Amino acid sequence: MLDVGESAPEFTLPKAGGDVYNDIEPFDLADALGDGPVVLAFFPAAFTSGCTAEMCAFRDSMHRFDDLDADVYGISVDLPPAQNVWILREELDFPMLSDWDHEVIHDYGVIEPEMYGQFEAARRSIFVLDAAGTVAYRWVEGEGETDFEAVVETVRDAVAEVA
């Protein structure tokens, strides 16, 4: 798993913008770096209760990231049209990246190999990257219930340190 101080692997993925079901365009991490901190929030699957709670916690705190010129992206193995429908349904105000071929979750070492005993998905984890693409902060979900509002607050503090 990628650790603090390491360079984040670059990638290009489809980005679901959320305006309509087919709001899809390429996203290149290298293009996003340099504009301010980047938050990559990996989650297992759209439309699930835990993932909805996590992404809604970010949604409810986005104004605090905007003040730091930080960009937040959710990443899952869901296809972009499904991500767009989920963004619209939950009124999420940040884009989702589709790692549909599972390359990025392998590159970042955040694989949940047996989601429901059936398929590989992203392990719930968050990386804060500085403008150079270095991991400044990493969080990986542990056992038990997660207080997503507290996690988002901690991530926001990590972003403030590199902003």
In contact, 44 and 122? CB cutoff 8 Å: yes
Closest by CA position to 18, among listed 107, 115, 98, 89? 89
Residue type, 116: Y
Name the pTM for this structure.
0.92
pLDDT for residue 10: 97
Q: List beta partners, residue 71.
A: 38
Q: Per-residue pLDDT for 119 more than 80?
A: no
Number of domains in the chain: 1
Q: Which residues contact 157 (CB under 8 A, 6 or more apart)?
A: none
Least confidently predicted of 125-129, 148-152, 158-162? 148-152
Residue 6 maps to a domain: no
Residue 150 maps to a domain: yes
> What domain range includes position 33?
12-162
Query: What is the C-alpha end-to-end distance of the chain, expressed in Å?
Result: 24
Structure-model confidence comparison of residues 40 and 34, the more confident one: 40
Q: Per-residue pLDDT for 113 more than 80?
A: no
Would you name the residues annotated as active-site residues? 51
pLDDT band at 67 (very low <50, low <70, confident <90, very high): confident
Mean pLDDT on 135-160: 87
Mean pLDDT on 34-53: 91
pLDDT band at 29 (very low <50, low <70, confident <90, very high): very high
69: CATH: 3.40.30.10
Residue 5 maps to a domain: no
pLDDT band at 64 (very low <50, low <70, confident <90, very high): confident
Residue 3 maps to a domain: no
> Sign of torsion, CA 23 20 34 58?
negative
Residue 81 maps to a domain: yes
CA 32 to chain centre: 14
CA 3 to chain centre: 16
Per-residue pLDDT tens over the stretch 46-58: 998 888 989 999 9
Q: Per-residue pLDDT for 115 more than 70?
A: no
Q: Per-residue pLDDT for 116 more than 80?
A: no
| Burial of residue 145, with CB atoms counted within 10 A of its CB: 0-12 exposed, 13-18 middle, 19 or more buried | exposed
